């Protein structure tokens, strides 16, 4: 997928990836998207230009152009490709 910038395989089942923000998420917060419950993923960090927010809070609001560092099952990470 062209949206994945970096990929670290942690095990056969789990990975951590840096990828571009899904377009449909721009303008929404982590809590509004309910990412952990709906997608079974954890947002480790968000890179916005030169700034990196580590462990963003639930009220963090995404912007177009953000890059996410996401931890989760490979199958759950692949679901982001379709958003």
Phi, psi of 29 (to 5 degrees): -95, 165
> What pTM did the predictor assign?
0.86
* Average pLDDT of the segment spanning 29-55: 95
Whether the pLDDT of residue 83 is over 80: the answer is no
For the CA atoms of 51, 7, 64, 73, what is the dihedral angle to 10 degrees?
A: -120
| Bridge partner list, 73 | 14
* Average pLDDT of the segment spanning 11-15: 95
CA–CA distance, 9 with 24 (Å, rounded to integer):
26
pLDDT band at 72 (very low <50, low <70, confident <90, very high): very high
pLDDT band at 15 (very low <50, low <70, confident <90, very high): very high
Q: How far is CA 55 from CA 12, 30, 52, 59, in A?
A: 24, 11, 10, 11
Whether the pLDDT of residue 1 is over 70: the answer is no
Residue position matching structure tokens 């989760």: 72
């Amino acid at each position: 997928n062209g949206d994945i910038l970096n990929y670290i395989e942690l095990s056969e089942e789990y990975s951590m990836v840096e990828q571009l923000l899904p377009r449909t998420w721009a303008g929404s917060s982590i809590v509004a998207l309910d990412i952990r419950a709906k997608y079974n993923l954890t947002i480790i960090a968000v890179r916005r230009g030169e700034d990196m927010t580590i462990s963003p809070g639930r009220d963090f609001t995404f912007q177009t152009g953000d890059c996410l560092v996401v931890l989760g099952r490979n199958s759950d990470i692949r679901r982001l490709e379709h958003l």
